[in-house]
Amino acid sequence: MNPKEHIRLHETEFTKSEKIIEEYVLKNFDTISSYPIQEVAKKCKVSKSALLRFCQKCGFRGYSEFRYEVSRYVHSMVEMDTDDDNSSSIYLSLYANRIQQLQQSTSSQFLDHIIQLIKDAYKIKIYGIHETGLSAQYLSYRLCTIGIDSEAIVNSSIMTEKALMSNQDDLNIFLSLSAETTVIKDAIQYAYESHSKIILVTQNNHHSFHQKIDKEIILPTFNNEDLHFFIDSQALVFITIDLIINHLAKNLQNQKNKTVCTAL
């Protein structure tokens, strides 16, 4: 997630002074990376401590990390003219670019850890709400096609209970782009307290569960507010699922071949 998305994710929690900071930051995103905390606080007419709390509320450790992420975001932006006849090409290029980023962050060694958690699990529960509910059902279906049973939990009213009933031999997989939905956060906490294994698939690299989960998959993000396209990040979730399933299927086949060779 980029800094703008982090800000908007938490804007309902902002105090009056934090709303003032939000307004200034979003209007001056391209220059804020040049200002120290004292200058930004002065321009917002708030205290340094208020600006620091704003950064922390948005998921950053402090102002320095926030400014660094803003700088990275600004420098990564590419201006695109979406009104020309090449809009379809640009649209496809956006997906291709994010898929390339996904490939770079999901190495074979990384996927090995993911599939080992899946293979070792006694029960697998997959959580998703609304759009990620479809992804949860898809992951459960794909696991079934290679002989692994799982349960897709898409009803928010039973998520916490399902997580609470887990034990140390179970694996809970949470699909949440924001990792800020209350019921998902509560379910992750209950899964952690039940000592079960946890995988989180999200776009929020500043989520609050880094110390409580066994593995995280951070998906690339789209800068929807800067592009006049309808782009759905769920496509990246489905691709991630297919990467995991294909890697897992290959691993299971290799394991089967070794067993056959040993028997011979």
Q: Would you give per-residue pLDDT tens digits along the chain (264 residues)?
A: 788 888 888 888 899 989 999 999 988 887 787 788 998 999 899 999 999 999 988 888 889 889 888 887 776 664 444 445 566 777 788 888 888 888 888 888 899 999 999 999 999 999 999 889 999 999 999 999 999 999 999 999 999 999 999 999 999 999 999 898 889 999 999 999 999 999 999 998 888 899 999 999 999 887 654 455 567 788 899 999 999 999 999 999 988 888 777 766
Same domain, 169 and 112: yes
Same domain, 239 and 194: yes
Round to the nearest angstrom and report the end-to-end CA distance of the chain.
Answer: 52
106 and 205 housed in the same domain: yes
Flag whether 49 is in a domain: yes
Q: Is 232 left (phi over 0), alpha (psi -120 to 50) or beta?
A: beta
Domain-embedded: residue 224? yes
Domain extent for 176: 101-263
Identify the bridge partners of residue 14 per DSSP, sorted by sequence position. Answer: none
Q: How far apart are CA 15 and CA 3, in angstroms?
A: 18
**At 135, which CATH number?**
3.40.50.10490
Per the domain annotation, does 192 fall within a domain?
yes
Q: Does residue 92 fall inside a structural domain? A: no
Instruction: Let me know whether 227 and 154 are in one domain.
Output: yes
Asked, for residue 87, whether it belongs to a domain, the answer is no
Residue-wise burial string across 210-233, b where 16 or more C-beta atoms lie within 10 A, e elsewhere: eeebebbbbbbbbbeeebeeebeb
Q: Using CA atoms, how far apart are residues 69 and 44, in angstroms rounded to an integer?
A: 20
| Position 89 in a domain | no
Is residue 137 situated within a structural domain? Answer: yes
Helix-helix angle 131-145:234-263, to 10 degrees:
10
Whether residues 107 and 180 fall in one domain: yes
Q: Are residues 106 and 63 in the same domain?
A: no
Q: How many domains does the chain have?
A: 2
Q: Is 152 within a domain?
A: yes
Query: Residue written as tokens 């998921």?
Result: 59
CA distances from 173 to 66, 113, 189 (A): 29, 14, 13
Token pair, residue 111, equals: 């996927």
CATH of the domain at 41: 1.10.10.10
Whether residue 61 is found in the same domain as residue 147: no
Q: State whether 53 and 8 are in the same domain.
A: yes
The widest CA-to-CA distance across the chain, in whole angstroms, is 78
Give this prediction's pTM: 0.75
